[in-house]
Amino acid sequence: MNSGTTEYLYSIWGSSGTDIYSVGAAGTILHFDGSSWSSEESGTIENLRGVWSSSETDMFIVGDNSSILHFDGSSWSPMESGSTAWLLGIWGSSGTDVFAVGGYYNGSGVWFDRDSWDGGVILHYDGGSWSEMKNDIAEHIYSIWGSSANDIFSVGAYGTILHYESDDTITCAIERIYGGNSKETEQLGCFRDNILSKTPEGRELINLYYQWSPMIIEAMKGDKKLKEEVKEMISGVLPLIGKEIE
């Protein structure tokens, strides 16, 4: 494809095959409308490293020297990051729950050397402002992705992998064990909705499950063995449940 630029491109995001954004060196922003790529005015000469959007009128770009840009559907404008970090990746579960990752670049050596960085950083945007999350990250972070607001992964230098799992908003023990978007959670949800909910006895079981779930979640927080035992027990009945909903 003809990009129309010779600048390095670092990241890409799209909502469809006719709405794709790519960002790169020297403030480069390109947009693909399904037929051709065109450049957009970023207002910066910083290298732009990551792009993500919750909608066509709510897009975020991060880059060097703590650069953050926001698109409101008509133009790009800078945001105050509240940090001095260099930002390399971005992802969000919604426009009011966005994470940016990177590190503190001291420029003492080449980009990929450990000595050139003074640790990693994770910033969070709550819809009003950006703030730095407390962490003990020794290495800079390159990229971030999540399956939900409660299940997020990021990767960085020298084999670094981080996992963020929030128990505060999870009220379902199944989601705590398998994750909110897993095939196991989907299968059990289908069994609940299409089998159990059809009878008075089944509905009573559903009520008891959600009544006990918060206590089960609390017990599993500090007990990995208990979590594995519960998971093993549930996994043992999944084949039977699968047959019931076929």
Distance CA 207, CA 217 (A): 16
Instruction: Decide: 213 and 173 in contact? Cβ < 8 Å.
Output: yes
User: pTM of this prediction?
Assistant: 0.69
The three state secondary structure string of the chain is: CCCCCCCCEEEEEEEECCEEEEEEHHHEEEEECCCCEEECCCCCCCCEEEEEEEECCEEEEEECCCEEEEECCCCEEECCCCCCCEEEEEEEEECCEEEEEEEEECCCCCCCCHHHEEEEEEEEECCCCEEECCCCCCCCEEEEEEEECCEEEEEEHHHCEEEEECCCCCCCHHHHHHCCCCHHHHHHHHHHHHCHHHCHHHHHHHHHHHHHHHHHHHHHHCCHHHHHHHHHHHHHHHHHHHHHHC
What pLDDT, in 10s, does the model give residues 198-238? 888 888 888 888 888 888 888 887 787 888 888 899 889 88
Domain range summary for the chain, segments of one domain joined by + = 9-165, 173-245
Average pLDDT on 30-50 reads: 97
What pLDDT, in 10s, does the model give residues 151-197? 899 999 999 999 887 655 556 788 778 876 688 888 888 888 888 88
Average pLDDT on 116-138 reads: 90
Distance of CA 66 to the CA centre of its chain: 19
Mean pLDDT, the chain, integer: 89
Q: 9-165, which class in CATH?
A: mainly beta
